[in-house]
Structure 1
């Protein structure tokens, strides 16, 4: 397979990954999160990550076997010599977009987890407090110090 065809294949997989990451962002921003949908997206992302890792490993191996330096300078030189530098640069840009989307989604997940943890802590604290006194009457203080009487 030519380098141009290989890069096109990687770019196609990256486009699929960006689409999944955008869908994940939309799902995370929704008022009500659909856990099953997020699990399906995560499985799709993992499959694409695995495939992209394999394709990148193949590309690096071919780059090394052809005598190009390792890393970005060697990859760019190989793409230039193969006449597909534009494809290489487009693929790198798309990979950076996927990286940023993935990082943003991670921040959204962290924010949701922190919110959920605060809610659970509040509920746990509220459940631990006696709502009624020994006389069976509601205590004057409501949950978290909020008065329960008008």
Structure 2
């Protein structure tokens, strides 16, 4: 039975390690100018921690089977208390992740808007195909004297 509490503690520790990563992600997404390199680094850390959580959760389920236990472990007070802490941490991280998702969507929308402006102005030039200057929107005849 000692493997299950150990795994649950590891789950909680990993969730707690994820909190500052997601806080930093939120700070990056709220910044006026997003640092793409820093955001990528945070995304990699977050992905690694989520992979660890997935592994630990599968271990938890393997440890539960022979003991005929299932979360939330109401009949085992120590495990129940630990599970409640895990769930509280999970809920807080879920809310932060949803908020970060909204921030990311806003950032993507701003990037698309900026790209649209750049694409719209891409074909406009100050010089025509003959190398002579021309003004935009107003057709003018050039007269040589």
TM-score interval (norm. to shorter): 0.7 to 0.9
User: Residues of 2 paired with 1:102 and 1:11: CA distance?
Assistant: 17
Aligned counterpart for 2:133 among listed residues 125, 131, 136: 136
RMSD value over aligned CA atoms? 2.2
Q: CA deviation at 1:82?
A: 5.6
Moved over 4 A (4+): 130-135
- The answer for unaligned runs of 5 or more in structure 1 is 69-73, 142-150
Written as runs of structure 1 = structure 2, the 5 A alignment for 1:27-66 is 27-66=28-67
Instruction: Look up the match of 1:148.
Output: none
Instruction: Look up the match of 1:7.
Output: 8
User: Residues of 2 paired with 1:54 and 1:139: CA distance?
Assistant: 61
Instruction: Look up the match of 2:88.
Output: 93
In proportion to residue count, which structure has more helix? 1
User: Residues of 2 paired with 1:64 and 1:123: CA distance?
Assistant: 58
User: Residues of 2 paired with 1:137 and 1:44: CA distance?
Assistant: 52
User: Residues of 1 paired with 2:85 and 2:75: CA distance?
Assistant: 13
Instruction: Look up the match of 2:22.
Output: 21
Q: CA deviation at 1:137?
A: 3.8
Q: Please state whether the residue corresponding to 2:62 is helix, strand or coil.
A: helix
Q: Please state whether the residue corresponding to 1:61 is helix, strand or coil.
A: helix
User: Residues of 2 paired with 1:131 and 1:64: CA distance?
Assistant: 73
How many residues of Structure 1 are paired with residues of Structure 2 in the alignment? Answer: 135
* Normalised TM-score (structure 1): 0.78
CA contact (8 A) 1:27 1:34 kept: yes
User: Residues of 2 paired with 1:108 and 1:39: CA distance?
Assistant: 15
- The answer for unaligned runs of 5 or more in structure 2 is 139-145
* Normalised TM-score (structure 2): 0.81
